[in-house]
Amino acid sequence: MNKLALLSFALAFLQLPAPAQLAANPLEKLAGLQAEALSAPLSPDARNKVYSALAGLPADTDSFVVVNRLGELAALALEVESPVPWAEMASELDGTALGITRRTVEDLQRLQPLFQLLSVAETDIADTWVAKAQDDAARAIVAVQREQQVADGASLVQATKDFHLAPIYMVLTARPGGEGLMQQLSMLPLMMPLGSDAPIQMTVRSGWRGFCVQGNMLDLSETGLAPEHESQIKANLQNARLYVLARAVGRRLVLVLCSNPDEVQLPARPADSLLAAPVMDAYDSGVMRRAWAVGYGSPAVVQLRAEMDLFSYRYVASFMEKVFLRLVPQSDACAKAATAVKSLLEMAEKFIPAQQGAERMMLWEDESLYLHMVCAAGPHRFVEAPMRHTAQAAKPETVLFAESAPVTGGPEVNVSAVLDNVTLVQQGYLDTLKPEYGDSVLESCRQLKQNRGKLEQLAAGFFGWHSGQTGSTALVVSRNASAEPFVSVTLRSEMADAATASRICEQLGAGGTTLCPELRGCFSMRAEGSALLLNAGVPAAELPAAEPGPMMAGAWFTLKVPTLADVLETAAGSCQDPQVKDAAEAVRNAAQYVQQIDAAASTRGEELHTLIRLTPTE
């Protein structure tokens, strides 16, 4: 299936009964969800009616995701012109869930090197750098690569000591009468190893069937590990086993990945399962709504994911710093570059902090399809401000509408220091290259030096705009009937006072048009009292100073899919760009199923709530 066919199939699930009119303000809907509370938690048996797959997860499950009503989804798939394989069989299913315990999270944290060392970022950078580098630099890069391989080998030795992976559970449940299907699917682990070269042994244990990968038979000769590390890892894994097992019990199939089958827990009844855990209280409203899916990520899982996201930044920065340090005796520029790389990494880590709070989500169908997500808010908070321009969202010519109250918090950025460090890294990199490869880097250095003042001015305007807002900021993208560039963009932001608006206007306008000369003639920015006004496109149009609407602490976004498709198709006919044509075709395909996408975000206490609504096409 090509991308458009896949998109068609995915969006076919959104063929819900179309409402007579668009639903209410998404911010108001989100506020209602935040205030929602049931008088008392539901019983495990009541929860089991919708979250049947969760009855197969143990009560101490740390994090999970469950998709419900699979049979209904499969029935929808069968109505699509080109149904996917297995849809008819899947119509017998009820739900599927994936879950891990806290012990599993701890094991995954310890085993991070096994996953992180699969990264090819450092290898790609090293290979490219060596090909362009002078002899001394090339030797330094290769030497650091070897050092890193030794360090990676030591990490793997440490990670594989006392190898253990607590159970990872996947549960499938069938609709009434689906016991036979569960028995058939329980044969999957016996089929998975077919054609594999891995050291696999088939196994049957106490009602379970499947296979295990034997650690003592792993071939590590192609890993590039040092001989001493290879032998240590082999010794660590001498008695290690990794099992893939399945067991069908009535209308439930449990699949497990673990290192010790004796640790697997099978709840005998809903009251012994995750359905009885306090964490499920937050999902009782999903029972009432017959939710399509819900999920929960504990703080430990969220932090583990954030650390793995940061890994590539840290790995590459550490590699570059070590290369530059090796070249310090020959190059003062490399000495400065080593310090600059470390400083840039520290700045990046401030913007990508490891999250500490839990995350949860719920997907359900009402008059539209709703996705509600909750996570830790971090340092950012919405403050209350009047929504002045929400009426723009309903206008037929509007393609995109967004309005947001001010946001406080967030790390301060020293733009001058960032540019200083970027310049130093450029100079250090240039000092390692053969002359024939230096022209493009020299040009980048020249461009940065030439535009530095405007970059700092633009950044100062942006951060000043962020901190100087006292009212909402509204953005509207509207379709033009005939004039190119087919859309007009208007923005209005309420600032603290006229002086602030004038200063920010000058900084953003001057910086933007200098760095992007093509904006001249179709871009304008000016201050009107305490309001900052931006316009791009033809004909010129600006948002009026509308009467204040309801006070809201949050943001609202609306995208009209058919209108966007119209704009892209008009643009594709004019510019003959194949990428624009492909985008127009994809959006038109989506417009068959989705009329409008709305989103709202707000903070409540320490949490950030986001609601996404997809309104189906009639």
235-253: per-residue pLDDT in tens? 998 889 999 999 999 899 9
Question: How many C-beta atoms surround the C-beta of residue 61 within 10 A?
Answer: 25
Rounded to whole angstroms, the Cα distance separating 361 from 363 reads 7
* Residue 150 reports pLDDT greater than 70: yes
Closest CA to 234 of 199, 260, 193: 199
**Confidence (pLDDT) at 78:** 63
SS3 letters across 33-45:
HHHCCCCCCCCHH
Looking at the whole model, is its pTM more than 0.85? yes
**Confidence (pLDDT) at 18:** 34
The whole-number average pLDDT for the span 56-83 is 82
**Confidence (pLDDT) at 148:** 85
Q: What is the pLDDT of residues 217-234, one digit of tens each?
A: 877 776 677 888 888 988
Rounded to whole angstroms, the Cα distance separating 571 from 565 reads 10
3-state secondary structure of 222: coil
* Residue 1 reports pLDDT greater than 60: no
Most confidently modeled of 3-17, 59-73, 454-468, 536-550?
59-73
Dihedral, 184, 187, 188, 194 alpha carbons, nearest 10: -130
Ranking 143-147, 267-271, 485-489, 513-517 by mean pLDDT, the lowest is 513-517
* Residue 56 reports pLDDT greater than 70: yes
Ranking 110-114, 153-157, 387-391, 500-504 by mean pLDDT, the lowest is 110-114
**CA angle 123–124–130, rounded 5-degree value:** 85
The whole-number average pLDDT for the span 595-600 is 94
User: Between β-strands 551-552 and 168-174, what pairing exists: parallel, antiparallel or unpaired?
Assistant: unpaired
* Residue 431 reports pLDDT greater than 90: yes
Closest CA to 234 of 221, 223, 218: 218
The whole-number average pLDDT for the span 326-335 is 93
**In sequence order, what E strands does 261-323 have?**
293-297
Rounded to whole angstroms, the Cα distance separating 30 from 413 reads 32
Ranking 195-209, 241-255, 361-375, 411-425 by mean pLDDT, the lowest is 195-209
**Confidence (pLDDT) at 325:** 95
Rounded to whole angstroms, the Cα distance separating 394 from 563 reads 12
Question: How many C-beta atoms surround the C-beta of residue 279 within 10 A?
Answer: 16
**Confidence (pLDDT) at 484:** 63
* Percent of the chain with pLDDT strictly greater than 70: 86
**Confidence (pLDDT) at 171:** 97
Q: Which residues contact 188 (CB under 8 A, 6 or more apart)?
A: 246, 255
Name the DSSP class of 81.
S
Q: Are 174 and 70 in contact (CB under 8 A)?
A: no
Chain-centroid distance, C-alpha 144: 32
Cis check for the bond before 44: say yes or no (omega within 30 of 0).
no
Chain-centroid distance, C-alpha 522: 34
State the DSSP H helix or E strand holding residue 266, giving kind and residue range, or none if neither: none
Which two tokens mark 81? Answer: 């012109």
In order of 14, 15, 286, the CA distances from 76 in angstroms are 9, 8, 21
The whole-number average pLDDT for the span 588-598 is 93
Q: What is the pLDDT of residues 497-517, one digit of tens each?
A: 999 999 998 888 766 666 566
- Residue matched to tokens 């075709």: 585
**Confidence (pLDDT) at 234:** 87
Most confidently modeled of 85-89, 194-198, 504-508?
504-508
Read off the pLDDT band of 476 (50, 70, 90): very high
**Confidence (pLDDT) at 118:** 54
For residues 126 and 285, which has the higher predicted lDDT (pLDDT)? Answer: 285
* Residue 87 reports pLDDT greater than 70: no
User: Between β-strands 359-365 and 293-297, what pairing exists: parallel, antiparallel or unpaired?
Assistant: antiparallel
Dihedral, 114, 115, 116, 119 alpha carbons, nearest 10: 110
Q: Could you give phi then psi for residue 296, rounded to 5 degrees?
A: -145, 130
Ranking 86-100, 152-166, 262-276, 475-489 by mean pLDDT, the lowest is 475-489
Rounded to whole angstroms, the Cα distance separating 515 from 196 reads 55
Q: Which residues contact 34 (CB under 8 A, 6 or more apart)?
A: 602, 604, 609
**Confidence (pLDDT) at 12:** 36
Q: Max alpha carbon distance in the chain (Å)?
A: 78
Read off the pLDDT band of 16 (50, 70, 90): very low
**Residues linked to residue 235 through DSSP beta bridges, in sequence order:** none
For residues 304 and 116, which has the higher predicted lDDT (pLDDT)? Answer: 304
Name the DSSP class of 469.
E
**Confidence (pLDDT) at 20:** 32
Contacts by residues 351-354 (CB-CB < 8 Å, ≥ 24 positions apart) = 351/411, 352/306, 352/309, 352/310, 352/313, 353/306, 353/378, 354/303, 354/306, 354/307, 354/310
**Confidence (pLDDT) at 467:** 86
* Residue 2 reports pLDDT greater than 70: no
Closest CA to 73 of 93, 59, 97, 56: 93
Q: What is the pLDDT of residues 438-474, one digit of tens each?
A: 888 899 999 899 888 888 888 888 888 888 899 999 9
For residues 104 and 415, which has the higher predicted lDDT (pLDDT)? Answer: 104
| Mean pLDDT score of the chain | 85
* Residue 527 reports pLDDT greater than 60: yes
Question: How many C-beta atoms surround the C-beta of residue 563 within 10 A?
Answer: 22
In order of 243, 402, 478, 557, the CA distances from 388 in angstroms are 59, 11, 17, 14
